[in-house]
Amino acid sequence: MTQIVPDNRKISPSLVFFLIHSMQIGVGVLGFQRIIAKSAGYDAWISILIAGLAVHIIVWMMYKMLRIADGDILAIHTYLLGKKAAKILCSILILYFVLLTTAVLRNFIEIVQVWMFPHLHTFWFGLVFLLLVLYVIFGGFRTVTGIAFFSVLLPLYILFLFLYTVPFSDFTNMLPILDHSIKDILLSSRDMSFSIVGFETLLFFYPFIKNPEKSKKWAHLGIAYTTFAYFYLAIITFAYFPEAQLDKNVWPTLTLWKIIEMPFVERFEYIGIANWCLIILPNICLALWCVSRLTKQIFSVQQRRALPVLALLVLVGISLLVTRDQINTVTNITGKFGFYFNFVYVPILFIVILITKKVRSHGKDT
Amino acid sequence: MAFMKFPFLKKKNDREEIKKALSKSKDYTTVTYLNKKTNVTFCLTFMSTLVDEKIINDNALPPLLEGDFYRLEDTKNILPLSDVQVTEETDKLEQKLFNGYVLLTMQGIENKFCFFSAQKEVSRNVSVPEVEFNVIGPKEAFVESIDQNLNLIRKRLPIKELIIEEQKVGKLSKTTVAILYIDGITNTENVNTVRQRISDIEFDAITDSSYIVQMISDNQHSPFPQLLDTERPDRVAAILAEGKVAIIVDGSPHALITPTTLVEFFSSFEDYFLNWILSSFLRLVRIFAVTFSVLVTPVYVATLSYHYELIPQDLLGLLVTSRRQIPFPPILEALFLELTIELLREAGARLPTKVGQTIGIVGGIVLGTASVEAGLTSNVLLIFVALAALASFTTPIYKMSNTIRLIRFPFLIFAELWGLLGILLAFCFFLTHLLRLTSLGRPFLEPIYPPRIHDLKDALIRLPFSQQTNRPFFLQSKAPKRFDDGTAKEKKDIDE
Amino acid sequence: MERIRNFLLLIPLFFLLVGCVEKETVDDINLINGIGFDYAEEGRIIGTILFPVFMKDQPPENKILTAEAAIKKSVLQDIQKQSADPIVTGKMRVVLFGEELSTKQGILELVDAFQRDPGVGSGIYLATVDGTAEEILKGKYGIKGNAAHIANLLDQNVKREDLPKTNLQRFLADFYQKGKTPYIPQIKKISDENVELSGVGLFKSGKIIDTITQDKMFFFKLLVDKFSEGMHRVGIEKGDAAIRSIRSSHNFELTGRNPFEVTVKIRVEGVINEFTGNELTPKITKQLAKQFEEDIARECMYFVKRFQEKEIDPVGFGHFVKTQERNFNIDKWWAAEYPKLVVKIKPDVTITEAGVIQ
């Protein structure tokens, strides 16, 4: 039922590392510290590790399911429910990814508007950005992966720039360790998971991986690296800001950059924000690619026809969101959906599919 | 186009028609002779502009007039020339005549005739490469004659595996295009693609290899050249050994190499003549130069128009004072200077060398100083633009350096619109474009993306030859190993 | 299809002109380098801004504009009315607060405006003024402009002398840190061409309530900065010596819980720069070191007592105890525990060199 992906469209397994990692890193990185510190305070770094561990488990489940169904998310559902029901169920995901794209893009534009250009038109910037996204996706999945690859490699230098804050940091801020209850820490982990969702795209691009068994290792490495990046950033932030000050900063990462002064450049945050353009690009490209592929499979529309329509939807979406409250609402809805999909629905699906497989193979035997 | 009226293009077999059409040209010559010994009357027909009359007079005529010439087949024995053919096919007639052959017909025999070659060689001598000049290494460059060029390559690869295939391209020009590859190393698929694409070319006159480049490129709307062109036979030989395909076009002193990658355009062949540390350093310098050249004016425009916060305090005074008198916004100032540089370059390229140099220096110094003094441009920007121009010329391949000069303009426009954010957007557009580009179906950004660790040994940097044990992976060569790196030698301890 | 798509890509380029954002071309704006605030009657403030007018081959000219208003933003707005070019805050180096303002009204609201403004960097210097800020900004110091001069003065003193690390971020961090109170340097105009660093102002909820004078700053820095440098004069019977501390560090240890007892170990490695006595024997060197240790212990103890009396904590004893204690209650700390805190100072001075003369 699903078309077989031609070999020259597939990507080598090691690139899964970049896909997973780049999808998990997005606008969330600029402001997650405040959100996770709300429940668990400066013990939240433990929450990051817990959330990272949870993602590892979920991805392990995903790989198992994908192998059983031998296909993508639609194949999994078809395996369980049959064609029709699968299509209906999966069309909800279209909405999710469109919302996700809208939230990411609008959040980024908001940051630009607050920090750089108060007069930036959401519509015009969104239009040009989405045209870029279309240009990428029309190049096929390999180009999308390429963008993910460069969006991980090129901004790597930023990780080192954070060290500029160390002379102004007090690492004892995090002491005493475990000053919060387990419940608080778990709550923080849940808040953290909003930032690190995105790896569910694996369920869509799985058929595009050459030798998917080999890619497992890379997917897990990607998650580990993401967890490390968030962890590193959280430690740097917690040491730099006292808790009460962190609570006042909506985008602590950007505030961190304000202290950087180099002989040829002062005030790194402007370069950083511009750089983030490259970091959210794969987020949006991959998400839109997933939806367009899903629409193709569900409604049998060509991807090249579906994409402009979907992009237009996103463009309308970002233009309609004006105030920070509206933006936050959409972000929260997407975050919640992502959380429940990844951490609740996927495990359930996993158990169901295991049972079904047992029953079916049992049925065959007797 | 007077050629088009030639009737022989349509009616092939009619000898009389051909004769009639040809006799309109002044260089069509027919001479009748009589062999007194055998009493045979024969006739020589040729295009006098294409044949070397010395060969006819000194080599062909004496045996024909005095030898044992009874039948047409005898020519093969009596003529002291290597290329003598007896044939009955009239349709080759016209083509042979235009390739510098002499047609020999015997009176009374209508359906059979003989050809022998007497081409006049009009070519210049092998000279020093001008575009890809090197201080170290061989100093010969291709010329316009394809035989000469093939000779230069053959000499460097004296093996039977070096295959030279020929095709004629162009309805009117009938240009000879040779495809070169090494059998057993080069991937057959690549050769087939090249062969196919060349035979698919539909065009009347192919004048130079650049025509072929534009016609067989994967994406013909890209500003980036997707085939490497070189005038160095040593480079062609080396690259054939890597397992790539070379294309040589008659009448063009530039050979084409495919498939190629972006990084290859920034490696000079001289890199291989230097020690690996030096050559790696030079490559990095070149890559830095290119980035600098493309980005410096856009960044200037972006920071001065939008991001004054980025400029360190001490630099700020300098920039402000240099701009104080200037009536234009940074973007106009930058465009003005960039266009001036382009003008100087274009004028320099169109004029004879000596005049061009003078114009370049005079124009550069006089215009630069004058425009700063007149308060039209700031001297800081003048320095940047001049440096950027200088940096853009470090690119070893001329076609690529043109591209680099061009792409800064979209960057400038985006920088004017959205500052640094615009520059990043423009960068993303170009990155995507490069990601989508292929050369002969192979990704253009290889080995950076898709990442191939093995090929990185000869990309941004060049590791020593002892490390280069494998041919580039993306070529999918039939013989991936270049040489046997020998059994791992045990390292000797100090003082052993 | 291909053609249409290519065309579509071109359209935005034309329309982009509509989407243009506001420009701030560097030579068409007034870059505030320094800003000063002073107290006026009835809770109003006087704001003075300083921006350089750059000249070719000359030191920049200091331009000053003044306005009176209720809050910072409206000060800037009022000043804007006097200026031909827009005034921007992105290149601010120093913010000065007049003495009256920082003691009477407090500076919190003003500082809050700076942390809210994305244009203002975190590395700017805050300082209080012995006198009025306006007066100081009106001088003519150095060749790089007034603000740059003051900023460099502070910078230099932080890096090489005995001013503790300070900038906007440090101030905010200390302010927001539970169990710590902030401090900023104090400067004073001595003539039209000269300003000097005159001390450190200690804050309690946004108001200065105590000042540390220039000569005691060395000990203050030893207490508050993890690593510090600086010069101190030690006197013994045989003569006076100037000892330069080239490397020093402090370490806190919680040695008792009821009442809390904190031991501060201060290690100083110094060289003797100058000695007024006849001969510098190893014995004398040892004596000097001993005397130095005594000085440190005495001065630091004196500081701690003073801080406890005034209910301020620039050293951050509260923060330190919090890192060592689970379920730390900050209100209880300020009310009951801090006044009873016992602090022990354990100095350890090593003199490594005595100059090039034996």
Tell me the pLDDT tens digit for each residue of C253-274.
888 887 888 898 988 888 887 7
Higher pLDDT, A195 or C74: A195
Whether omega before C339 lies within 30 degrees of 0, making that bond cis, reads no
Q: Between the ranges C40-44, C270-274, C338-342, where is the mean pLDDT highest?
A: C338-342
Nearest to B320 among C16, C54, C88 (CB): C54
Contacting residues of B for C155, CB less than 8 Å apart: none
Of B309, B436, B449, the CB nearest to A270: B309
Listed residue (B486, B417, A227, B94) closest to C22, CA to CA: B417
pLDDT in tens, B200-235: 988 888 888 889 988 888 888 899 999 998 999 999
B-chain residue closest to C51, CA distance? B317
Yes or no, beta carbons of B324 and C24 under 8 Å apart:
no
Whether C29 and B308 lie within 8 Å, measured CB to CB:
yes
Whether residue B285 has pLDDT greater than 90:
yes
On chain C, the residues whose CB falls within 8 A of the CB of A259 are 121-123, 169
**Between residues C9 and C33, the one the model is more confident about:** C33
The phi-psi region of residue A346 (left if phi > 0; otherwise alpha if psi is between -120 and 50; otherwise beta) is alpha
Q: Is the pLDDT of residue B99 over 90?
A: no
CB B445 within 8 A of CB B452: no
Question: How far apart are alpha carbons B385 and B298 in whole angstroms?
Answer: 10
| Rg (chain C; Cα; Å) | 25
pLDDT bracket for residue B14 (50, 70, 90): low
Q: Where are the domains of chain C?
A: 25-218, 226-358
Model confidence at C357, pLDDT cuts 50, 70, 90, reads low
| A-contacting chains (≥3 CB pairs under 8 Å) | B, C
All residues at 6 or more sequence positions from B207 whose CB lies less than 8 Å from its CB, including other chains: B173, B175, B251, B252
Residue B100 has pLDDT above 80, yes or no: yes
| Alpha carbon B290 to chain centroid, angstroms | 21
Q: Label each residue of B90-113 as H, E or C.
A: HHHHHHHHHCCEEEEEECCCCCCE
Q: B487: pLDDT confidence band, cut at 50, 70 and 90?
A: low
> pLDDT band at C19, cuts 50/70/90?
low
For A176, the closest of C18, C172, C324 (CB atoms) is C324
Q: Is the pLDDT of residue C14 over 70?
A: no
C16–A248 C-beta distance less than 8 A: no
Residue with tokens 């294309």: B247
Domain of A129 in residue numbering reads as 11-357
- The overall average pLDDT reported for chain B is 85
pLDDT of residue A23: 92
Q: Which residues of A touch C170 (CB under 8 A)?
A: 168
Tally Cβ neighbours within 10 Å of residue B8.
20
Strands, DSSP E only, in B145-254?
162-169, 175-182, 228-230, 245-249
Helix (H, G, I), strand (E, B) or coil at C189: strand
Residues from chain C that touch A267, judged by Cβ atoms under 8 A, are 90, 121
Question: Does the beta-carbon distance from A175 to C172 stay under 8 Å?
Answer: no
The answer to whether the CB atoms of B309 and C25 lie below 8 A apart is no
The helix, strand and coil proportions of chain C, stated in percent and rounded to the nearest 5, come to 35, 35, 30
Return the pLDDT at B10: 43
> Cα(B441)–Cα(B124) distance, rounded to whole angstroms?
37
For tokens 């406890």, the residue is C308
Closest partner CB to A119 (pick from C21, C118, C178): C21
Asked if the structure places residue A6 within a domain, the reply is: no
Report whether pLDDT(C354) > 70: no
**Would residue A197 count as lying in a domain?**
yes
Is the Cβ–Cβ distance between A269 and B316 less than 8 Å? Answer: no
* Chain B residues in contact with C24 (beta carbon < 8 A): 305-306, 308
Instruction: Give the pLDDT band of residue B292 (cuts 50, 70, 90).
Output: very high
Q: How far is B434 from chain C (nearest CA, A)?
A: 16
pLDDT at A107: 93
CB environment A38-56: b (16+ within 10 A), e (fewer) = ebbbbbbbbbbbbbbebbb
Q: Where are the beta strands (DSSP E) in B142-198?
A: 162-169, 175-182
- Lowest-confidence region among B273-277, B361-365, B412-416, C101-105: B361-365
The tens digit of pLDDT for each residue in B250-271 reads 989 999 998 899 988 988 888 8
Contacts of C31 in chain B (CB under 8 A): 308, 316
B422 touches chain C (CB under 8 A): no
Compute chain B's Rg from CA coordinates.
Answer: 30
**Which of A259, A304, A307 best probes binding to C when mutated, by most C CB atoms within 10 angstroms?**
A259
- pLDDT of amino acid B9: 42
> Is A3 within a domain?
no
> What would the 3-class secondary structure string for A263-286 be?
CCCECCHHHHHHHHHHHHHHHHHH
pLDDT of residue A230: 94
* Mean model confidence pLDDT for chain C: 84
**Whole-angstrom Cα distance, residue C312 to residue C182?**
9
The whole-angstrom separation of Cα A282 and Cα A26 is 9
DSSP B32: E
What pLDDT does residue C72 have? 61
Q: What percent of chain B has pLDDT over 70?
A: 96
DSSP assignment letter at B119: B
Q: Do C26 and B317 count as a contact with CB atoms less than 8 A apart?
A: no
Which residues of C make CB contacts under 8 Å with B? 6, 13, 16, 19-21, 23-27, 29, 31, 33, 52, 54-56, 60, 88, 90-91, 93, 119, 121, 144, 148
- The answer to whether A276 touches A30, Cβ cutoff 8 Å, is yes
Q: Which helix (H) or strand (E) holds A122?
A: helix A122-138
Is the predicted pLDDT of residue C278 greater than 80, yes or no? no
CA A143/CA A205 separation, integer angstroms: 13
- Find the closest chain C residue to B325 by CA distance: C27
∠ CA A52-A53-A56 to the nearest 5 degrees? 90
Task: Tell whether A160 is covered by a domain.
Answer: yes
For chain A, the domain total comes to: 1
Compute the radius of gyration of chain A from its Cα atoms.
21
B159 vs C10, higher pLDDT = B159
Residue A4 lies in a domain: no
Q: Which residues of A touch B309 (CB under 8 A)?
A: 266-267, 270
- pLDDT digits 0-9 by tens, A85-96: 888 888 889 999
Q: Is B357 helix (H, G, I), strand (E, B) or coil?
A: helix
**Chain C residues close to A245, C-beta within 8 Å:** 172-173, 175-177
Determine whether the interchain pair A147/B432 forms a contact, defined as Cβ–Cβ distance below 8 Å: yes
B neighbours by CB contacts (3+ pairs under 8 Å): A, C
Asked whether residue C142 carries a pLDDT value surpassing 90, the answer given is: no
Contact C234, C216 (CB under 8 A): no
- Chain B residues whose CB is inside 8 A of the A267 CB are 309-310
Span A342-361, pLDDT tens digits: 999 999 999 999 998 888 88
Residues of A with CB under 8 A from a CB of C: 114-115, 117-121, 123-125, 127-128, 131, 135, 138, 167-168, 170, 172-173, 175-176, 179, 240-245, 248, 254-255, 258-259, 261, 266-267, 269, 304
pLDDT, tens digit (0-9, with 9 covering 90-100), for A125-176 = 999 999 999 999 999 999 999 999 999 999 999 999 999 999 888 888 888 8
Residues C277/C231, Cβ–Cβ less than 8 Å: no
What residues have CB less than 8 Å from C283, skipping those under 6 apart? none
Q: What percent of chain B has pLDDT over 90?
A: 22
What is the average pLDDT across B434-444? 90
Cβ separation A179–C326 shorter than 8 A: yes
Query: B6: pLDDT confidence band, cut at 50, 70 and 90?
Result: very low
Contacts of B451 in chain A (CB under 8 A): 14-15, 149
- The amino acid at residue B240 is L
Of B310, B435, B436, the CB nearest to A267: B310
The pLDDT of residue B490 is above 50: yes
Mean pLDDT of C236-245: 81
| Average pLDDT estimate for B172-187 | 90
CATH number reported for the structural domain that contains residue A160 in this entry: 1.20.1740.10
Subunits with 3+ C-beta pairs closer than 8 A to C:
A, B
Interface test with B, best of C26, C88, C93 (most B CBs within 10 A): C26
Q: Which fold has domain C226-358?
A: GMP Synthetase; Chain A, domain 3 (3.30.300)
Q: Which residue has the tokens 């260089």?
A: B27
pLDDT at C13: 58
Instruction: Dig out the tokens for A47 from the structure.
Output: 């929450």
Closest-CA distance of chain A to residue B396, Å:
25
As a whole number of Å, the end-to-end CA separation of chain C is 89
Query: Please, which residues have CB within 8 angstroms of residue B179's CB and are 6 or more apart in sequence?
Result: B164, B165, B166, B167, B191, B194, B195, B198, B245, B246, B247
Residue reference for tokens 């902030």: C182
Quote the CA–CA distance of C10 and C16 in Å, as a whole number.
10
Q: How far is C330 from chain A (nearest CA, A)?
A: 13
CA distance A279 to A271: 13
| Closest chain B C-alpha to A207 CA, distance in angstroms | 18
CB contact under 8 A, A179 and C173: no
- Taking contacts as CB-CB distances below 8 angstroms, the residues of chain C near A114 are 118
CA distances from C86 to B429, C31, C96, C173 (A): 34, 9, 22, 31
Does residue A365 have a pLDDT over 60? no
Does residue C74 have a pLDDT over 80? no
Spell out which residues of chain A touch residue C1, defining contact as CB-CB under 8 Å.
304
pLDDT category, B476, cuts 50, 70, 90?
confident
B417 with C20: Cβ contact below 8 A:
yes
In the structure, what pLDDT confidence band is assigned to residue B3 with cuts at 50, 70 and 90? very low
pLDDT at B11: 41
Q: Are B283 and B460 in contact (CB under 8 A)?
A: yes
* Bridge partners, C35 (sequence order): C49, C95
Cβ-Cβ contacts under 8 Å, B436 against chain C: none
Cα atoms in the 13 Å half-sphere on the side-chain side of B147:
6
- Tell me the chain B residues in contact with residue A218 when contact means C-beta distances shorter than 8 Å: none
What distance in Å separates the CA atoms of residue B7 and residue A354, rounded to the nearest whole number? 79
Q: What pLDDT does B355 receive?
A: 79
Using CB atoms, pick whichever of B306, B435, B451 lies closest to residue A147: B435
Position B5 confidence tier, pLDDT thresholds 50, 70, 90: very low
User: Considering only alpha carbons, which residue of chain B is nearest residue C55?
Assistant: B321
| Contact predicate A75/A349, CB 8 Å | no
Cα C182 to its chain centre, rounded Å, is 9
Spatial distance between the Cα atoms of A223 and A285, rounded to a whole number of angstroms = 19
User: Is B316 in contact with C16 (Cβ distance < 8 A)?
Assistant: no
- How crowded is residue B380: how many other Cβ atoms within 10 Å of its Cβ? 17
